[in-house]
Amino acid sequence: MKGRGQIVTTGGSSSSDKGAALSSHFRYDVFLSFRGYTRLKFTDTLYHALINKRIDTFEGSLLEAIERSMMSILILCHKYPTSQWCLDELIKIMECSENGRKPPVLPVYFNVAKSDVQFQLNEYGKAMAAHEEKGR
């Protein structure tokens, strides 16, 4: 399933030059960021539902695809922060969002409490502490 749907993007055309330039920058409607653990239990279903609704979706791990996607969906599970690649994707997603190149990120909490992610508790706290320790 790695890769994107072969469907034309659903974004409408804009009348302004700025809007047209911005929309031409994007190649995908959605970028899915996830840990492999969620693939069979959730991510495959979400990916195919988006494709069936004609939402051009990239699923995989390419930083350029993040830049070329109109939005990102994070499938956050307890193992997400234990992956350096997932954390690298998250950093890139947040950089793009903060630079105004795309709307805010849509988080999906898969078998993990929102408060664990938000306040870095339990597995998230341990993983983020380990990540910080590596960076020193």
Catalytically annotated residues: 89
Q: Degrees (nearest 5) of the Cα angle 80, 28, 32?
A: 15
| Half-sphere exposure of residue 22: CA atoms within 13 angstroms, side-chain side | 15
| Region for residue 60 given its phi and psi (left: phi exceeds 0; alpha: psi -120 to 50; beta: otherwise) | left
Q: Which residue has the tokens 């995908």?
A: 28
Beta carbons within 10 angstroms of residue 87's beta carbon: 15
Which one-letter DSSP state was computed for residue 39? I
